[in-house]
Every structure is written in C-alpha cells, then in structure tokens.
Amino acid sequence: RQVVEIKHTLKEPRALTDPVGTAGHTMELRLRDACWRQANVLPGRKLLDFPCGVQVELSFSALLSNILLVFGTVRNSGPTVQDCTVDLCSEPVMEDIFSGPGRSDEMHSLLLSKGDNPDC
C-alpha cells in the first residue's frame, strides 16, 4: 500500500495561478522574457534575386517553438534558364530533421549535401 505524503517548506498556500513574483529579479525577468519573445518571431517572406535571372521566394513556418521550416519556391526562372530547382543550405549547418532513416516520407529534405554544387 502507498500512503500519500505531502511535504513542503512553504509558509503559505501557493497555486499555479499565483502572480509571478518579480521583486529583486525584475531586470533578469525582463531580459529573459524579451529573449523568449524575440526567439519566437518568424522572419517575413523574402525574395532572392540571382544573377542568372532566377527569383526565389523564401517563406517560414514554425513546427514547434524550436523548429523552423523554410520553404523555397521558384517565382521566376528567367529567359535563359531551362531547368531550375531550389536547394536550401544554412551557415552554420543546421540539423535536418526530415531526412534519414525512420524520418517522415512526406517531408523531403531541401538541404544541400556536401557534394552538391549549384550553378546559381
């Protein structure tokens, strides 16, 4: 048999709905709060123009609070381009969570592998 035992050193009752006490830690709390808000702001859509005449639109979406999805769409391929694909890479290199064994078959990686060498 298990006996319920509650131990605490609180001098008064507390609840998760109690206001957050900021006395003595106001600056640190404001700094952490500002950093958290800034870290969760998605970038706006961006148009990238390449010298070969290709225009690519990047759009962003959040999967979770710490996973950013980036989509690349060719908007204009230019008059001299016959075949155009979008490959995404990042500097510094970020983990690609959608490729590799056991990963989702619905989402395909657009990150460049080290052997890829795009024209433009």
Confidence of residue 17 (pLDDT cuts 50, 70, 90): very high
Q: In this structure, what token pair is assigned to residue 119?
A: 């024209």
pLDDT at 22 over 70: no
Q: Mean pLDDT score of the chain, rounded to an integer?
A: 76
**b/e code 87-114 from CB counts within 10 Å (16+ = b):** eeeeeeeeebebeeeeeeeeeeebbeee
Comparing 9 with 64, the larger pLDDT belongs to: 9
pLDDT digits (tens, 9 = 90+) for 50-104: 888 888 899 988 877 777 788 888 888 877 888 888 877 777 777 666 555 555 4
Confidence of residue 120 (pLDDT cuts 50, 70, 90): low
Amino acid identity of residue 110, one-letter, is L
User: Which among 98, 94, 100, 95 has a CA at the least distance from the CA of 108?
Assistant: 98
In this predicted structure, what is the pLDDT of residue 100?
54
CB 86 within 8 A of CB 110: yes
User: Domain ranges in the chain?
Assistant: 46-97
Least confident of 10-19, 22-31, 38-47: 22-31
In this predicted structure, what is the pLDDT of residue 60?
87
Amino acid identity of residue 34, one-letter, is A
Confidence of residue 110 (pLDDT cuts 50, 70, 90): very low
Q: What is the pTM of this model?
A: 0.52
What DSSP designation does 95 have? -
